[in-house]
């Protein structure tokens, strides 16, 4: 059996449970820098994915704790959709992404890691960002400093949104 050690995930698996991490971010705006929140809006917020697929992977999340998109109000759904649209434009035009994946995993069996609070994933993509290590070893290489990406995206969002 092959083993891949990822000691940086130790914090994630050993940290004290705080309930829903998305609600925690909404309820603690004074911790936005530590939580890597990119911006708060009327009904939603943007936050970096702590374990991203690619550099710049972030999420659009409603402020209200809800597990079903069909239960969202039209106002919240429209704001989420507008933020997704603006995010895609920003990643392509200002961040240099060649493409973008957007997705929402609904329910635990639908692949949601945090099934109790709906959220969109916004994943920037580049030509050849999947290479042999991803294809053969099923491992991602994150080639850019996470904090640097956070600062850059936060500044762009403050300017453009």
What's the pLDDT tens digit per position in 140-160?
Answer: 666 689 999 999 999 999 999
Q: Between 81 and 54, whose confidence is greater?
A: 81
pTM, two decimal places? 0.85
Q: How far is CA 83 from CA 3, 5, 32, in A?
A: 39, 36, 18
| Tens-place pLDDT, residues 101-118 | 999 999 999 999 999 999
Please answer whether residues 156 and 95 qualify as being in contact, where contact means their C-beta atoms are separated by less than 8 angstroms: yes
Lowest mean pLDDT among 49-53, 61-65, 118-122: 49-53
**Domains of the chain listed by start with CATH number:** 21-160 (3.30.428.10)
Helices (H), 15-145: 21-27, 32-35, 74-93, 132-137
Nearest to 80 by CA among 113, 112, 104: 104
Question: How many Å is the maximal CA-CA distance in the chain?
Answer: 50
pLDDT bin (cut points 50, 70, 90) of residue 28 is very high
């Amino acid at each position: 059996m092959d083993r891949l050690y990822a000691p940086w995930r130790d914090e994630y698996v050993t940290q004290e449970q705080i309930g829903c991490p998305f609600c925690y971010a909404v309820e603690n705006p004074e911790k936005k820098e530590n939580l890597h929140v990119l911006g708060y809006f009327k009904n939603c917020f943007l936050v970096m994915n702590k374990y991203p697929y690619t550099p710049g992977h972030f999420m659009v999340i409603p402020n209200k704790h809800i597990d079903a998109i069909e239960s969202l109000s039209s106002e919240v759904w429209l704001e989420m959709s507008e933020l997704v649209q603006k995010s895609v434009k920003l990643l392509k035009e200002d961040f240099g992404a060649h493409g973008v994946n957007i997705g929402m995993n609904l329910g635990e069996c639908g692949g949601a890691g945090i099934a109790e609070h709906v959220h969109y994933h916004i994943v920037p993509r580049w030509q050849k960002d999947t290479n042999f290590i991803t294809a053969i070893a099923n491992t991602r290489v994150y080639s850019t400093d996470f904090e640097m990406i956070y600062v850059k995206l936060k500044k762009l969002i403050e300017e453009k949104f």
